[in-house]
Structure 1
Amino acid sequence: MNTLSKPVKPLPLAISELYRGSSMGRTLIDAVDELVIAGKIPPALAAKVLQHFDEQMAKVLREQVGSHVNLKGTMKRFNNISDVWLWNVEDALISVDRQKPMRVDRLKIVAMASKVVGRPASPENDSEKNPRAIDPFFRKRRIKKNGVEWKKAQKKLVKKEELEKNSKLEAGMELEL
């Protein structure tokens, strides 16, 4: 069992899981874990290495990936959990950089706000002062949890136009529905 899967700084856990869950991240975790077990590096250094990996992955994806993805399909479900967006799309048509489109029966998209890792703190990126920094669908809510308004708000869906307007993904990817 890897003892190094949690970051030192209080980054949202989903971010480290996303980057560290890649083949490159898993390989790094295995290599660093072997060094800790062999006693060649202390666990604190290993944690710093993984934290640096998370930050650099976010930086590289933000600055160096220039591909443009067009996606058309039927969105069956979307959700925002711990600042991570999840979309389930069916009958998707995907084209990358204007190449020949591919058809996919089911597609799961995981995306997160680019401000979460690797961006300097600023008032517009501070989620406590600006809730829109993380949640593009944030609306001012004056809702009583036990009242009728709460039940109405739970059932309310985001309009398609608002979703299209706010659906830019990290690394220049664009979601079209």
Structure 2
Amino acid sequence: MCLADTLDEMISDGRIVPQLAVKIMENFDKAMGDALAERVKSKMSFKGHLDTYRLCDEVWTFIIKQPTFRFENETVSTEKVRIIAQSSKQKARDGRVLWDRLGNGVLGTAFIYLWAFFKSIILGGHKTNLTHYFNTLNRLALAS
């Protein structure tokens, strides 16, 4: 939801056109996976309280309450976060292999949806970093 809200705000401000926002939403997962696999060199760790977990159709879902994310230069806390992990061997309904370039952890390849984290960035006064992040996603989406 935070991505859609941010894109709506950028359309309202005239920074992007609606067609670009649609393309970003369509290509977000692929662009994020590629960027994480190829460009991110920094490390992050987190801890929190595991509230809920489930395995359904080979997809793990974890709800972590009160997580704290530690980056090299910063620590960010939020109310809760959802982690969705799927084996890199698992295929999407349309037959594509999901996240086959992100690594081989215990759960296979994982993608972390940090909507609450993005909200913390916005509320924490880091709009410049978030704008830079979405501009990078725009370039990745246009390149694909």
| Superposition TM-score tier, normalisation by shorter sequence | 0.3 to 0.5
Find the structure with the greater CA-based Rg. Answer: 1
Structure with greater strand percent:
2
